[in-house]
């Protein structure tokens, strides 16, 4: 582990330990925050219950679909906008102001159009996540060093070979950053949508626990969501580091 990694680990362990101590000593009331150890034990008990399976399937399937559409669609659209300058000039103002729009205000409208069910959640999460992937793809392709493109022309690579062997590997770090954002935004879109009107899903269960003052269950489910997103982003980060090491070698 690098020095920065050790520092992050020490800070994380210290923060969790301080929270555990504050909760156990009564410095933080259990009606506000439960101890991390209790979150873990409650999460284990919740995952072993029969009712949680349906909610997990509802949320994770919606996130997976929205994430897939956002990543693939965002990459394709970003590539096209980078390749066609007049389209980029036309859409750039909209992309720049996109995240100033309150996306969740459209959720009731999406329910009117698509009805109750997973489709409005998937559309909302896709809308929220796709633009991050578009912007990351465009940024990565913009930063491909000119010397690499000249080298590709010197070696007389075809357009497909230039894209596959030069442009995409050079843009990969930015594209992977967009992928991590798309994953996080997909979870935010689905779970926040479930808070509002959904009758199932992890977001609905968190909101239900909050309304019923069931703090242990609420914090356990929040920990579960944080854990899934963190594990996925760590896997992408490890893949990114591996690609950078291969490039350096």
pLDDT tens digits, 190-237: 998 888 777 788 999 999 998 888 888 999 999 999 998 888 888 888
Region 146-172: mean pLDDT is: 83
Per-residue pLDDT, 51: 82
Compute the residue count for the chain: 249
pLDDT digits (tens, 9 = 90+) for 51-82: 888 888 999 999 999 999 999 999 999 999 98
pLDDT digits (tens, 9 = 90+) for 127-143: 889 999 999 999 888 88
From the list 210, 185, 204, 202, the residue with the least C-alpha distance to 103 is: 185
Q: What string of DSSP letters covers the chain?
A: --HHHHHHHHHHHHHHHHHHHHHHHTSS-TTT---HHHHHHHHHHHHHSSTHHHHHHHHHHHHHHHHHHHHHHHHHHHHHHHH-HHHHHHHHHHHHTGGGS-GGGGHHHHHHHH-SSHHHHHHHHHHHHHHHHHHHHHHHHHTS-HHHHHHHHHTT--HHHHIIIIIHHHHHHHHHHHHHHHHHHHHHHHHHHHHHT-SSSHHHHHHHHHHTT-HHHHHHHHHHHHHHHHHHHHHHHHHHHHHHHHHH-
How far is residue 78's CA from residue 156's CA, in Å, rounded to a whole number? 26
Output the CA–CA distances (angstroms, integers) from residue 149 to 78, 160, 161, in the order listed.
Answer: 19, 13, 11
Predicted model pTM: 0.82
Per-residue pLDDT, 40: 92
From the list 86, 240, 232, the residue with the least C-alpha distance to 171 is: 240
Give 45's contacts (C-beta < 8 A, 6+ positions apart): none
**Angle at Cα 179 formed by Cα 177 and Cα 181, nearest 5°?**
75
The yes-or-no verdict on residue 246 having pLDDT over 70 is no
* Token reading at 166: 């030069």
């Amino acid at each position: 582990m690098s020095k920065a990694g050790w520092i992050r680990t020490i800070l994380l362990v210290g923060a969790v330990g301080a929270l555990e101590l504050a909760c156990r000593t009564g410095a933080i009331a259990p009606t506000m925050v439960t101890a991390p150890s209790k979150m873990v034990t409650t999460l284990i008990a919740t995952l072993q219950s029969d009712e949680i399976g349906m909610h997990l399937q509802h949320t994770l399937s919606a996130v997976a679909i929205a994430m897939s559409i956002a990543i693939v669609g965002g990459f394709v659209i970003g590539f096209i906008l980078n390749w066609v300058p007049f389209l980029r000039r036309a859409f750039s103002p909209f992309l720049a102001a996109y995240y100033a729009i309150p996306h969740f205000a459209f959720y009731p409208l999406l329910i009117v159009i698509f009805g109750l069910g997973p489709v409005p959640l998937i559309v909302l999460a896709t809308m929220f996540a796709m633009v991050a992937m578009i912007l990351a793809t465009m940024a990565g392709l913009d930063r491909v060093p000119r010397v690499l493109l000249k080298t590709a022309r010197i070696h007389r690579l075809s357009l497909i070979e230039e894209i596959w062997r030069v442009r995409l590997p050079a843009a990969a770090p930015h594209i992977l950053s967009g992928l991590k954002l798309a994953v996080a935004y997909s979870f935010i879109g689905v779970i926040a949508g479930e808070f509002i009107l959904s009758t199932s899903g992890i977001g609905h269960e968190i909101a239900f626990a909050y309304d019923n003052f069931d703090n242990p269950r609420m914090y356990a489910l929040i920990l579960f969501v944080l854990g899934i997103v963190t594990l996925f982003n760590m896997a992408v980060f490890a893949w990114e580091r591996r690609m950078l090491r291969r490039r350096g070698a």
